[in-house]
Amino acid sequence: MPCRKFTIRVPATSANIGPGFDVVGLSLSLHCTLTVSLLSHPSESPHVPPSITYSGEGADEVPLDAYKNLTTRVALYVLRCNNIRSFPSHLKIHVDNEIPFGRGLGSSGAAVIAGVLLGNELGQLSLSTERLLDFALMVERHPDNVTAALVGGFVGSYLKELDEEASLAASVPLSEVLPEYPPDTSEEWGLNPPIPPTGIGHYVRFGWSASIKAIAIIPRFELSTAKAREVLPTHYSRKDLVFNLQRLAVLTTALGQSPPDPELIYEAMKDRVHQPYRKALIPGLPEVTSSITPTTHPGLLGICLSGAGPTILALATSGFEAIAEDARKIFRKTGVEIDWKILEVVGGSIVQQQ
C-alpha cells in the first residue's frame, strides 16, 4: 500500500541557565523522535483511528491513546484550528524518546513542539516558524523550552504584550486549548478551538562557545514543573530582580566568548528568582551549586538548576567526570541517587520526509 512517511526530531532543552527564569533556553543532545506513516486507502473505506507505539523514556507511563497523549492532542489542536476536524485515517506514529520526564530537561516542551510539527505536516499547512511558536505557546505558556526546542541553540525569548482582545485569546484555559475529546473519534465535535493570536513569541539566538559542554546531573526522581512553579513567590524585591538582570545581561554574551571566562560565568549563573524557593523540593541543590566551583573543579564554568529541576546543569570545558561524581556524593548524603550525561548544544527540530 503506498505510504507517506516522515520523521520529526526534537531536542531536549534546559531552561533558565540560572538567572534567565522563563527567558533563556538551551537545546541539548537528547531527542524525542517521531516516525510517522500515513497509509493510502480507498476514500470509501472506514476511518481507522491513529495508532501510537512508544519506546524509551516514559514508555511505561505515557498514554498511547491519541486523544490523551500530549503530542497528538497538540497536533489535533493545530489541525482543528486549520479547519481539519480529525486525524487522518491510517495514521501510525512510533515515538522513541531519550528525554526523561519531569526532570527539568524540557520533555513536555519537546512533546508540544513535536505535536505542533506533527499537526503542520499532517495538515500540510506550511506554517512559518513564528506561527508554529504561537501554537506551542498556547499550550506551554512560558517560551524558554519551546523556543529552544524549535529553533535550537542558546536562545532568549519574550512574549509580546498583546492588545486586550489578543490577550484574552492567548489566556484561555489549557482545558479549552486541549479539551478532553470524546472517545468516539468519528464524532464531529461542536466547539471550535481558540485560535492563537499571531506573533506571541519573539526570540534571538545568542553565541555559544564550541568548547562548552553541558553535564546533566539527573536525580532519580520526577518533579513536575507545575509543582516547582507553585512554590515561587508572586512578588520580588528590587534587589533580587536587579541581581538577576545584571547576571543575565553578562551571561548571554559570556557563554559565546572564546575562551569562556569561568570567573565571570560562575557568578553570572547565580539566581535569586527561582532556585532559592525550589531548594525544599530538591534536597542537595544548595550544597551542589555552592560547593562545586571553578576553584574546586578546574574546567567548570557555572552550575545551576536545569529548568524547574530536579536536574542540575553544569557547564564546563573539561573535568566533566569529577564534577558529576562529586555531585553524586553530595546528593547521596541526602539519600538521592543520580545519573549523569555529558551533552552537546545542538540545533533545533528537524522534519524529514522519507
Ligand X SMILES: N[C@@H](CCO)C(=O)O
Task: Name the residue nearer to ligand ATP (CB basis): 153 or 294.
Answer: 153
Task: Name the residue nearer to ligand X (CB basis): 67 or 135.
Answer: 135
Q: Is 225 in the site for ligand X (CB under 6 A)?
A: yes
Applying CB under 6 A, among 221, 229, 336, 350 the residue interacting with ligand X is: 229
Q: Is 16 in the site for ligand X (CB under 6 A)?
A: yes
Question: Across 162-257, where does the E strand assignment appear?
Answer: 201-206, 213-219
CA-closest candidate to residue 300, choices 173, 204, 189, 214: 214
Residues, the chain, total? 354
Give CA–CA dist 287/293, Å, rounded: 11
In single-letter form, the type of residue at position 221 comes to F
Q: How far is the CB of 104 from ligand ATP (least distance, A)?
A: 4
Task: Name the residue nearer to ligand X (CB basis): 33 or 275.
Answer: 275
Q: Which helix (H) or strand (E) holds 322?
A: helix 320-333
Q: How far is the CB of 142 from ligand X (least distance, A)?
A: 5
Looking at 178-269, list the stretches that DSSP marks H as alpha helix, in order from N- to C-terminal side.
225-230, 238-254, 262-268
Applying CB under 6 A, among 36, 66, 111, 200 the residue interacting with ligand ATP is: 111
Q: Is the CB of residue 334 less than 8 Å from the CB of residue 285?
A: no
Applying CB under 6 A, among 62, 132, 138, 177 the residue interacting with ligand ATP is: 62
Give CA–CA dist 66/303, Å, rounded: 38
Lookup: cell for 354:
522519507
Question: Which residues face 303 on adjacent strands?
Answer: 314
Q: Is 51 in the site for ligand ATP (CB under 6 A)?
A: no
Task: Name the residue nearer to ligand ATP (CB basis): 99 or 264.
Answer: 99
Give CA–CA dist 30/43, Å, rounded: 39
Q: Is 145 in the site for ligand ATP (CB under 6 A)?
A: yes
Q: How far is the CB of 238 from ligand ATP (least distance, A)?
A: 27
* Stretch of 97-105, 186-194, 277-285, 333-341 lying at the interface with ligand ATP (CB under 6 A): 97-105
Q: Which of residues 206-225 bind ligand ATP (CB under 6 A)?
A: 224-225
Interface positions with ligand ATP (CB under 6 A): 15, 32, 58, 62, 69-71, 95, 97, 101-109, 111, 145, 224-225, 307-308
